Amino acid sequence: LLGTILLAETLDALDVDFAVTGFQDVLIELKGFDQHFDDAARRAIAEIPQEVSGCRHGGNNQPGYNDDGPCVLEAATDLLAQPATERVLVVVSDGLPEGRRSTREDLRQTVSKLTQPGINLELVGLGLGPGTQHVKQYYPQSVADVPVARFADEIAKVIERVLVG
């Protein structure tokens, strides 16, 4: 939660257009590209832990699913539709990429499609928590097994690398 807030606050302060979207078996929009980063967006992001626990009021609440392939593809499609010269999609994974409607192969195909030459998208995988070494198998740019307490630090490194170079 703190890493996500840090990322959102930093991007907002730098006047960078961004969205914050969670996913389980479907995308869970927390802050859209067309939405200001206001108190409502902050509240939605603050509810991430409840979604992960399956108890978010009015939420999707399907924490047992990690339909990475179709959800990453949908989020990337939304991002690629934005008028921008540079696009970065950071995918935070806390479990194996298989769910109600997809398999690990779906994520492999999605990453292959999104990393082809001519696609104006930088794709970064971040494995949150122990046992997330699998992100290195899927994402060409990745950090795995990030302890929850170090998530904000790792997100800050991604921001620095992408925005500063």
What's the pLDDT at 126? Answer: 93
User: Can you tell me the distance from the alpha carbon of 112 to that of 105, in angstroms, rounded to the nearest whole number?
Assistant: 10
User: Can you tell me the distance from the alpha carbon of 122 to that of 54, in angstroms, rounded to the nearest whole number?
Assistant: 31
What's the pLDDT at 4? Answer: 86
Contacts of 12 (CB under 8 A, 6+ apart): 18, 37
Q: How many residues does the chain have?
A: 165
Question: What band does 161 get if pLDDT is binned at 50, 70 and 90?
Answer: confident
pLDDT tens per residue across span 9-35: 989 998 999 999 999 999 999 999 999
In this prediction, residues 55-84 reach a mean pLDDT of 95
pLDDT tens per residue across span 110-130: 999 999 999 999 999 999 999
User: DSSP assignment, residue 35?
Assistant: S
